[in-house]
Every structure is written in structure tokens, then in C-alpha cells.
């Protein structure tokens, strides 16, 4: 008769002792939680204020709103101008910013890269008023012949119908000013993301015979895609909310499909130009326009977060 030996009971391992939280760690943790909750409270407070002050506009008689056709007819030209100026800025600034970021991070000598990086970052410290003065005093007269050429040769396109403004202070000029303003934002974020690309990825691509551009296309750009999108969305947020520079360049209201004639404006510029002299229902109308801009900015940020989350497998954290 054979007996099978029973295995000895396994000893239960005790859980490792948890480190005792230090007072400094607890204070920092609670401070971070309070800061996060405070941001949400402030955001909710701003939204509640805008909704409360905008309600009289939504319930008022349409004939009492500027234009006499209701709030929607009043605000949609401003929404068009806001989006148009921001898109022009993105189309111009994004390729330049990515090119500058790649040059600084992968092509320029170290000393030149440091100096160029400082110069680009310095653009972010220039006040909006200075950009506005530069736009109306120098840029607008310089680009006016180009706008006239576009109107003469591409006037069959609705966005380029003429006659072009004689002063050059058009939505296209405002978009160029915004492009210069958001250039350091996109460049700085893209540059830092490109510098975080794992060296092994770059060296592996080069070892397989890839050229410098092929290495950037296969290793650097996929790794930095979420950061690039984040930088572009931050620049878009700056372009959507910019006030003084756009107000100084345009300083007119109305609506036109053409980007080369005077008559368009943005929500932020409209508020800045009209709010000091507004009262009563006009003030509520401007606040309602601000609520629309708030919703647009929130939607853009949510869309950007959704795009980044879809590409999270390429993020530096992973």
C-alpha cells in the first residue's frame, strides 16, 4: 500500500508594510486635490454667470436685438469670423511651427538651437497690443497688394471675392497676426515632445538604413503626435479668444464671405469694442455671445482630448 505524501502547507506571505505618509506628502496631496476641485468650481461659476446673464437675450423680443432679427442672426456672423480667423492662423502657423521645432530638435547645432529656442519663446512674451500695432502699421500695408492680386485672379472663389480692402485690414491680415501669436505655443510644445523621442527608436531607424527624414517620419512624428495635437489645440484656443490684436486690425462689424474685404469681426473683438458703451439688453447680448465662445472653446478642448486619447499608445508616458 503506497501513500502519497501531502505537500507541506505553504506559508502565507504577509503584505509588505506600507510606508508611513509624511506630513509634507499629505499636505501636498491635499493641496493638489483642493487645486483640482477649485478649478472645477471656478469653471462652473463662470458658466453659471454666463448663462444667468445671457438668459434675458434668449427671452427678449428678436426685434430688440442688434439687427432686429434675433440673437442667432446677430451671433452667427461673429462665430464665422472667429472660426475663420482661427483656421487661417492654424493653417499658416502649424507647418512653420513643426518645421522650426524639428530644426531646433534634430538639425540645428546645439548653440544655434538654444538661441533660436529663446527667440521663439520670446514671442510669447510680447503683449497683444504690440502685435495689433504691428498688424495695422506694418503688416496690413505690406500684404494689401497680395490681397488685391488674389481678388483679381481668384475672385471666383467666394473667400477671395473683391474688391480687396484698400487698407489691408481684413480677416486674412488678422489671421496672419494670430498665426505669429500662436507660433511660439505650438513650437515650444512640439519641440519638447520631439526631444523626448527615445534615442533607441531613432538609432534603430538609422541603423536600418533610414535617412534623417525617414527616421523623423517613422520614429519622431508618431511618438510626438499627441503632443503636436495638444500644441495645435492650445494655439487654437489662443486664436479663438484673442481680443486686442484682432480688434485693432479689424475694428469693424458686419458680415461678408470674403476674407479680403472689410466687414467681418470675431466674438472677442466685438465684445471688446462694444462692451464699454453697452447697457441693458445690449450688455446681455454681448455676454450671450461670450457664452457661445465659451461653448466653442470647451467643445474644441473636448475634441482634442478625444483625439489624444485615441493615439495614447504613442504617448511618451507609454
pLDDT tens, position by position, 230-270: 889 888 888 888 888 888 888 666 677 778 887 788 888 88
pLDDT given for residue 48 in this prediction: 92
Number of domains in the chain: 1
219 with 197: CB under 8 angstroms?
A: yes
Record the pTM: 0.81
Would 12 be classed as within a structural domain? no
Minimum mean pLDDT range among 15-24, 116-125, 184-193, 267-276: 15-24
Q: How confident is the model at residue 155 (pLDDT cuts 50, 70, 90)?
A: confident
* Statement: residue 117 has pLDDT above 50: yes
Would 179 be classed as within a structural domain? yes
Q: How confident is the model at residue 95 (pLDDT cuts 50, 70, 90)?
A: very high
Which CATH number belongs to the domain containing residue 301 in this structure?
1.10.3720.10
Minimum mean pLDDT range among 67-71, 119-123, 132-136, 145-149: 67-71
Highest mean pLDDT pick, 16-25, 114-123, 128-137, 276-285: 128-137
194 with 220: CB under 8 angstroms?
A: yes
Q: How confident is the model at residue 176 (pLDDT cuts 50, 70, 90)?
A: very high
Would 54 be classed as within a structural domain? no
Cβ burial of 226 (10 Å; 0-12, 13-18, 19+) is: buried
108 with 116: CB under 8 angstroms?
A: yes
Please, which residues have CB within 8 angstroms of residue 208's CB and are 6 or more apart in sequence?
none
Q: Is the backbone peptide bond immediately before 35 cis, with ω within 30 degrees of 0?
A: no
Q: List the Cα angle 311/313/318 in 5-degree steps.
A: 130
pLDDT given for residue 38 in this prediction: 94
Q: DSSP letter string over 41-80?
A: HHHHHHHHHHHHHHHHHHHS-GGGSTTSS-HHHHHHHHHH
Would 220 be classed as within a structural domain? yes
Would 277 be classed as within a structural domain? yes
DSSP H stretches of helix in the chain: 23-59, 71-102, 110-123, 128-134, 140-153, 171-195, 199-207, 212-215, 221-241, 244-250, 267-274, 281-310
Query: How many other CB atoms are found less than 10 A from the CB of residue 266?
Result: 31
Would 223 be classed as within a structural domain? yes
316 with 99: CB under 8 angstroms?
A: no
Would 318 be classed as within a structural domain? no
Q: What is the mean pLDDT of residues 212-241?
A: 87
Residue with the larger pLDDT of the pair 187 and 66:
187
* Statement: residue 145 has pLDDT above 50: yes
Would 48 be classed as within a structural domain? no
Residue with the larger pLDDT of the pair 66 and 145:
145
Q: What is the mean pLDDT of residues 145-153?
A: 88
Minimum mean pLDDT range among 62-76, 103-117, 145-159, 251-265: 251-265
The residue segments making up the domain with residue 144 are: 60-312
Amino acid at each position: 500500500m503506497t501513500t502519497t505524501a501531502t505537500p507541506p502547507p505553504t506559508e502565507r506571505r504577509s503584505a509588505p508594510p506600507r510606508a508611513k505618509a509624511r506630513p509634507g506628502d499629505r499636505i501636498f496631496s491635499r493641496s493638489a486635490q483642493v487645486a483640482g476641485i477649485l478649478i472645477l468650481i471656478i469653471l462652473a461659476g463662470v458658466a453659471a454667470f454666463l448663462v444667468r446673464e445671457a438668459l434675458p437675450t434668449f427671452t427678449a423680443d428678436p426685434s430688440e436685438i442688434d439687427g432686429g432679427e434675433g440673437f442667432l442672426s446677430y451671433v452667427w456672423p461673429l462665430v464665422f469670423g472667429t472660426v475663420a480667423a482661427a483656421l487661417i492662423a492654424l493653417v499658416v502657423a502649424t507647418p512653420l511651427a513643426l518645421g522650426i521645432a524639428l530644426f531646433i530638435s534634430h538639425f540645428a547645432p546645439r548653440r544655434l538651437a538654444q538661441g533660436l529656442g529663446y527667440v521663439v519663446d520670446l514671442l510669447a512674451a510680447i503683449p497683444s497690443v504690440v502685435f495689433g500695432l504691428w498688424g495695422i502699421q506694418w503688416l496690413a500695408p505690406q500684404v494689401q497688394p497680395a490681397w488685391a492680386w488674389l481678388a483679381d485672379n481668384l475672385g471666383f472663389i467666394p473667400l477671395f471675392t473683391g474688391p480687396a480692402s484698400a487698407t489691408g485690414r481684413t480677416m486674412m491680415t488678422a489671421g496672419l497676426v494670430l498665426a505669429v501669436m500662436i507660433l511660439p505655443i505650438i513650437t515650444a510644445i512640439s519641440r519638447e515632445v520631439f526631444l523626448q523621442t527615445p534615442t533607441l527608436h531613432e538609432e534603430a531607424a538609422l541603423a536600418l538604413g533610414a535617412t534623417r527624414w525617414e527616421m523623423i517620419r517613422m520614429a519622431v512624428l508618431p511618438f510626438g503626435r499627441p503632443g503636436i495635437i495638444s500644441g495645435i489645440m492650445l494655439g487654437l484656443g489662443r486664436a479663438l479668444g484673442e481680443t486686442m490684436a484682432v480688434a485693432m486690425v479689424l475694428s469693424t462689424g458686419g458680415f461678408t464671405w470674403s476674407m479680403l474685404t472689410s466687414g467681418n469681426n470675431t466674438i472677442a473683438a466685438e465684445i471688446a469694442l462694444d462692451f464699454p458703451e453697452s447697457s441693458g439688453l445690449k450688455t446681455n447680448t454681448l455676454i450671450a455671445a461670450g457664452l457661445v465662445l465659451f461653448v466653442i472653446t470647451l467643445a474644441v478642448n473636448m475634441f482634442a482630448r478625444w483625439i489624444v486619447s485615441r493615439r495614447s499608445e504613442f504617448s511618451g508616458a507609454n
